[in-house]
Amino acid sequence: MAKELTDSNFQNEVLDLQGVALVDFWAEWCGPCKLIGPVIEELAGEFEGKALIGKLNVDDNRDVAAQYGIMSIPTLLFFKNGEVVSKHVGLASKGDLKKKIDSLLA
Active-site residue (options: 15, 30, 85, 91): 30
Confirm whether 30 is a catalytic residue.
yes
* Selection from 51, 65, 35 nearest residue 2 by Cα: 51
Q: Residue 25 pairs with which residues in a beta bridge?
A: 56, 75
Q: Is 17 a catalytic residue?
A: no
Instruction: Please tell me which residue in 5, 33, 39, 73 is annotated as part of the active site.
Output: 33
Using CA atoms, how far apart are residues 46 and 32, in angstroms rounded to an integer? 22
Residues acting as catalytic residues: 30, 33
